[in-house]
Homo-oligomer: A and B are copies of this chain.
Amino acid sequence: MGRINELRLIARVAQMYHAEHKRQAEIAETLRMSQATVSRMLKRAEQEDIVRTTIIPPPGTFAELETALREKYRLTEAIVIDCSEDRDGAVMARIGEAAAHFLEVTLQQDEIIGVSSWSQTILRMVDNIHPLKAAKAKYIVQILGGMGEASVQAHATQLTARLAKLTGGEPRLLLVQGITSSREAKLVMLSDPVVRGTMDFFGRLTLAVVGIGAVEPSELLARSGNTFSREELAMLHDAGAVGEISFRFYDKDGKPVETPLNERVIGITLEELRKTDRVMALAGGESKTAAIAGALRLGIIDVLVTDKFTAARLTE
């Protein structure tokens, strides 16, 4: 009896507020009640489902997949990009682009950014960064040594330097092999004060941008030439390794896989990544699905940028 009149009034208040864009104080005056009452009525309007707010995701975005990813893997943020097909080149480009935009918008003053500089996807990200959007980074730190021959290494260096320039930061390069030939060789490298200087930043990063690699013999071999021995590959495989970040391996449950190989890598460790404020991972593609799933279970990734097909597989 009284309820219908009450609801009518609430609906009217909601209409004035939401549709006619009147201030609560104005509504209160028109309807001769206090602003507090109007505020409370608006709250009730939501409870009674008289006003309903719908979020319509813009076409080409995948809010649902993102939410599912965030919730399943406890991410701060997930970015899922559209792509017509699984073709790797296109996917990487789109991931890089989205990551670039996100980075630009969320970049803070004086960040210390670590970048895993040999990933193709990260390269695409740097390609797409719009030079400087107000905030300036402090240092751009290369968090993994170079790969393969000198000319390829130069690429990595350039990427880091370019990112540094675009963000206004100072580059901190790691001019050594990412994977040394032996434990001893690594120790020699580490004796270089410049190398140590760069590596000192690993524990002080405010943001790390990393790629995720799959553990498939073919891929690893293709990428790194003969850096891995047949035994090492077998060892990784036996230990259940499914992927790597900065050549630190882990299994499908997100448990780090310790092998002697660790001793040969010059790059950030998973522990150091864990201590980093924000870790942003860029990866997509069918072949990397297991690697990404494992990486997410490590619990060190805050932001994932991937494609819709991979996202769908990850949330299954």
The docked-state distance in angstroms from the alpha carbon of A278 to that of B32 is 10
A56 touching B49, Cβ below 8 Å: yes
A33 sits at the interface (CB 8 A):
yes
User: Smallest CB–CB gap between A162 and chain B, Å?
Assistant: 19
The docked-state distance in angstroms from the alpha carbon of A260 to that of B247 is 104
A61 sits at the interface (CB 8 A):
yes
Residue from the set A58, A63, A66 with the largest chain B CB neighbour count within 10 Å:
A58
Q: A98-B5, A102-B5, A102-B9 are in contact. Are A50 and B55 (CB under 8 A)?
A: yes
The docked-state distance in angstroms from the alpha carbon of A283 to that of B76 is 59
A54 sits at the interface (CB 8 A):
yes
A101 touching B9, Cβ below 8 Å: yes
A222 sits at the interface (CB 8 A):
no
The docked-state distance in angstroms from the alpha carbon of A7 to that of B54 is 15
The docked-state distance in angstroms from the alpha carbon of A98 to that of B97 is 58
B52 touching A58, Cβ below 8 Å: no
User: Smallest CB–CB gap between A121 and chain B, Å?
Assistant: 15
For residue A33, which residues in chain B have a CB less than 8 angstroms away from its CB?
105-106
A18 sits at the interface (CB 8 A):
yes
Q: A51-B54, A58-B7 are in contact. Are A76 and B30 (CB under 8 A)?
A: yes
